[in-house]
Amino acid sequence: MSTIKNISRRSFVRSIGLASGGLILACNTSVFSDKEKAPENLIDFNPNLFVQLNSDGSLILVASRSEMGNGVRTSLPSVIADEMDADWTRVSIKQAVGDKKYGDQNTDGSRSIRYLYEPMRKMGAMARAMLISAAAQKWQVPEEECSAENHFILHTSGKKIGFGDLVHIAKTLEIPAEDTLTFKNPKDFKYIGKHLRSIDVEEYANGSAVFGLDKRLPNMKFAAIARCPVTFGSVKSFDKTATLKIAGVIDVIEIPRIERPFGALGGIAVVATNTWAAFKGRDALKIEWDFGDNQVYDSDEYMKQITENVHKQGKVSKDVGNVNRAFNGADKIVESTFQLPHLAHAPMEVPNAVAWVQGDTCEVWAPTQEPQASRTEVVEYLQTDREKVTVNVTFLGGGFGRKSKPDYVVEAVAISKAINAPAQVVWSREDDIRHGYYHTVSAQYLKASLNKNGNVTGWLHRFALPSIVSTFSPGVDYAAGFEIGSASNVPFELENMKVEVGQAPAHVRIGWLRSVINIPHGFSLNVFADELAIAANEDPLEFRLKLIGKDRIEETQDPIKYNTARLKNVLKIAAKNAEWGKELPKGHAYGLAVHYSFYSYVASIVEVSVVNNKVQVHNVFTAIDCGTVVNRDTVKSQMEGSAVFGISLAFYGKITAKNGAIQQGNYSDYQMARIHQAPKVHVEIVDSDENPTGVGEPGVPVIAPAIINAIYQVTGKRYHNLPLSDHGLV
């Protein structure tokens, strides 16, 4: 590694502000670890943490977020490459370890592009500016006469020089001040807003991509853990005699419950020379459990309880106008109660992690959405210094929010420490379904009044659900502020509105699942709006546009305000593409839903048939306005995936508990939509120069309610609780 010019700290470090804090650019920080040196024949140029240009012209860009099918390892680096005017064929990607120097690395909440688009542009612009300065210095010409194009710096005289040939000069330059940077005109973008194939597609196709389950180390052992069937239960006693007789089993270790939100649930770990032996050894354990107080949890009884709670006054979170007066003067009153169950993430790749604890140091390899949280949990468990813990991020075989919770990483660390060898913890599918962080169960009650013209004059929304906050602060039994937002911030023009929250204590670990609170609220709001259209004897599309009302910018609890014109626009586009109102085959019908979430606007028109009381989804027409688009392929893929994800939740999604234990355990009783159930998904992306907004999650909330609304058009039956399999419809 070549030395870097010693310059003042003020020139040496520039800070790009983010909503989450700051992203520090340091020109002498290498993307290579001490154990992994750069090739000796290359001169290295690091204008910042995310960019390394070598003298042969190869360009290494660092991906700080986790790749789980979201395309982030392509999208974010492509922004840097575009601003540099680099040749994408000469780019390779280096995955960042978990470290606060990379800024916020939490690949969750549809935030990657939203948070990092502008910082990535700045990094590319910085690198381009330094290369232009280097070329101007070499040629002894003004910088204004130089420009970048496809991995070269050009001079107005016709001279050009490759990026790599400028490394020896550029590496001596100071980082340009942020306020001196110039940016490309969007009309000149080569990659941003275009269709860009995933940079990892070949590794996916040839099997060389390393997912968490693929990681191997010399002398690595494998572990499976028996956990209490009842969440928060513990071990009374155990007998390992039969387990130790199984070929391949090495040891049996008790792991205590760790009282941290992302700590281990505890249990008995079986360590073996292979995964199969570890699982068989676990099956042979004889364990007496202390189920604890949570043994009383019965999901059916719990649903009755929270449903009762939404039928009585709750905590008022929003009160505008006079709802009671509107109800008393109504021409019609419409009321509905909605019930939605717990959901599990069930990603194709189960939770797993490799850890190697050596003294007070530890290295981890894991499919994690949040490497810094993983690092924090490991540091706390080992009571060591943060600098002594390294968390390497592998590819993720799906995440959906589950892998932002690193309990499985802590388990691997605990076992490695106990056996003094590298260890891989592997969850079975049953472990994944029965011991996860579940999407919240919910009950909702909506009541609205209509006048003689079919206009909504009053709106009451009560809901009760165990809060995600309960995972961090046990005892919290009401929804938190961010869980109220999508009910309080409904984009309807309502003069009289009240939102109330009912009590709902948590009995399982509650966590983020793709689209989070927008799943229950997006469902109830869109189904109820359809019911109001029927009550008003109006077309659901026209009624919805009327309910959204005039074009306006609405204040929300978030720093970004929503724009009703953009919301109506996606609804109109989806309807136009579906040819809303056209005659469909007998037994077929359209249903619609539109929702604002993660600062994006999404509408879907779903074509459904009901034949012999069985539902089939044939077409989904989706329109999304997510501001500036980085990679159109990724946006389209996310909308397609959201459609299938939403169908799975609508058809099958249901987690239940009896005597405190989760009853589902595999894809046989927690089903996913199969290939023959996948519809044709038609996606239109709205062109926009607004700031980028979320993509990975906002396509989900509209699918289930659109299906329910379409079923009504065919059968005249309205379903307020899911999944449809409970009604014999799939």
CATH number, domain with residue 170: 3.30.365.10
What's the mean pLDDT in 499-515? 97
Q: Which of 206, 241, 262 is the last residue of a domain?
A: 206
Tell me what pLDDT residue 41 has: 45
Q: Locate 548 and state its tokens.
A: 């959204």
Same domain, yes or no, for 120 and 198?
yes
Same domain, yes or no, for 520 and 586?
yes
Same domain, yes or no, for 547 and 458?
yes
Q: CA-CA distance, 708 to 31, in Å (whole number)? A: 50
Same domain, yes or no, for 125 and 251?
no
Q: How far is CA 475 from the centre of its chain?
A: 26
Least trusted range by pLDDT, from 130-144, 155-169, 549-563, 583-597: 549-563
pLDDT tens figures, 401-446: 999 999 999 999 999 999 999 999 999 999 999 999 999 999 999 9
Tell me what pLDDT residue 561 has: 79
pLDDT tens figures, 699-715: 999 999 999 999 999 99
**Banded model confidence at residue 48, pLDDT cuts 50, 70, 90:** low
In a domain, 661, yes or no: yes
Tell me what pLDDT residue 471 has: 95
What's the mean pLDDT in 150-155? 98
Domain range holding 282? 212-292+351-426
Looking at residue 211, what DSSP letter applies? Answer: B
Instruction: Calculate the alpha carbon distances from 106 to 94, 98, 113, 371, 373 in Å.
Output: 17, 10, 12, 7, 8
Can you name the residues that pair with 44 across neighbouring β-strands? 54
Tell me what pLDDT residue 375 has: 98
Q: CA-CA distance, 138 to 133, in Å (whole number)? A: 9
Beta carbons of 181 and 129 less than 8 angstroms apart: yes
Angle at 676 between CA 673 and CA 678, to 5 degrees: 55
**Banded model confidence at residue 481, pLDDT cuts 50, 70, 90:** confident
Q: Which of 426, 445, 462 is the last residue of a domain?
A: 426
Backbone angles phi, psi at 272, to 5 degrees: -145, 175
When the pLDDT of each residue in the chain is averaged and rounded to a whole number, the result is: 92
**Banded model confidence at residue 557, pLDDT cuts 50, 70, 90:** low
What's the mean pLDDT in 605-623? 98
Same domain, yes or no, for 280 and 313?
no
Same domain, yes or no, for 625 and 690?
yes
Q: Which of 139, 171, 206 is the last residue of a domain?
A: 206
Same domain, yes or no, for 172 and 283?
no
E-assigned strand segments in 135-248: 146-149, 152-155, 160-162, 221-226, 234-239
In a domain, 604, yes or no: yes
Same domain, yes or no, for 28 and 85?
yes
Is 50 exceeded by the pLDDT of residue 567? yes
Tell me what pLDDT residue 171 has: 85
Same domain, yes or no, for 522 and 608?
yes
**Banded model confidence at residue 560, pLDDT cuts 50, 70, 90:** low
In a domain, 3, yes or no: no
Q: How far is CA 701 from the centre of its chain?
A: 13
Q: Locate 463 and state its tokens.
A: 């809901």
Whole-structure pTM over 0.75, yes or no?
yes
**Banded model confidence at residue 34, pLDDT cuts 50, 70, 90:** very low
In a domain, 95, yes or no: yes
In a domain, 258, yes or no: yes
Q: Provide the domain count of the chain.
A: 3
pLDDT tens figures, 359-409: 999 999 999 999 999 999 999 999 999 999 999 999 999 999 999 999 999
Containing 338, the helix (H) or strand (E) segment is strand 332-340
Is 50 exceeded by the pLDDT of residue 32? no
Is 50 exceeded by the pLDDT of residue 298? yes
In a domain, 475, yes or no: yes
Tell me what pLDDT residue 347 has: 97
Task: Give the β-pairing of 234-239 and 286-290.
Answer: antiparallel
Containing 501, the helix (H) or strand (E) segment is strand 497-502
Same domain, yes or no, for 473 and 549?
yes
Same domain, yes or no, for 201 and 241?
no
Q: CA-CA distance, 476 to 465, in Å (whole number)? A: 11
pLDDT tens figures, 627-655: 999 999 999 999 999 999 999 999 999 99
Is 50 exceeded by the pLDDT of residue 18? no
Is 80 exceeded by the pLDDT of residue 465? yes
In a domain, 584, yes or no: yes
Least trusted range by pLDDT, from 117-126, 188-197, 582-591, 613-622: 117-126
What's the mean pLDDT in 569-590? 98
Is 80 exceeded by the pLDDT of residue 60? yes
What's the mean pLDDT in 219-247? 97
Q: CA-CA distance, 116 to 210, in Å (whole number)? A: 25
What's the mean pLDDT in 609-624? 98
Least trusted range by pLDDT, from 123-127, 352-356, 514-518: 123-127
Is 50 exceeded by the pLDDT of residue 91? yes
Tell me what pLDDT residue 243 has: 98
- Non-local CB neighbours of 185 within 8 Å, separated by 6+ positions: none
Would you report the helix, strand and coil content of the chain in percent, each value rounded to 5? 35, 25, 40
Same domain, yes or no, for 708 and 589?
yes
In a domain, 1, yes or no: no
Q: How far is CA 647 from the centre of its chain?
A: 18
